[in-house]
Amino acid sequence: MTERILKNCFIAIFLLLAKEIDAQDAGTIPSYKDSLRQALNDSMRVEFLWRIGFNFSQSDPDSGIFYAKKSYELSKRIKFVKGFGDSENIWAFSLASAGLYDSANVHYANALKHFQTLNDPCNTTVVLGNWGWNYLNHHEDVKGLECFLEAEKLDRACDSRGWKSTTYYNIGAAYNRMQDYNKATSYFDQAIEIDEIKKDSAKLA
């Protein structure tokens, strides 16, 4: 009984925190579309295309896929490797939102290869985080945890991005799903501590 209550508390806490770290905002899409029309070069257009796709990816996955494909096609035309990685990541995320689990896994694997080719640990971390949740959402908790733990190693090179607490939340959620509540508590505590420090720093700025 106690374990079940604890589990439910962890899930409730995580879902609350997840809302705070969700960076998607469909309200930004018109602004990105304006920026796309005014872009000075193709690499900028790639950036705006995948960002539009990102902000569509949960509310309208089909549109997310559409813009991710456009971004990928333009990246291919100009041989822009980072654009490949960003496009495949958003393509995968949109497919996952649409419930197309296996197809999403293919594109996450492609995105990972592109960012690894560039030796880009920060964007590799982003892909691993998204891919890990695709696994968790389909009850492949061990694979999800493996993605998050690998992201944790790479996060050390990305402290300036401020993603470490998100990675800790993810790891905590995976351990919680696996009913390892002690480890889940440890990672949730670390995430909360980091976020509290960030809030205090913002107040002092």
CA gap 6, 40 in Å, rounded: 53
Name the band, by pLDDT with cuts 50, 70 and 90, for residue 61.
very high
What would the mean pLDDT of 107-128 be, rounded to a whole number?
96
pLDDT at 17 over 50: no
**Over residues 90-108, mean pLDDT:** 97
Measured CA distances, 162 to 20, 157, 187, 199 (Å)? 14, 11, 16, 12
Looking at 57-178, list the stretches that DSSP marks H as alpha helix, in order from N- to C-terminal side: 61-78, 81-97, 101-117, 121-136, 141-155, 164-177
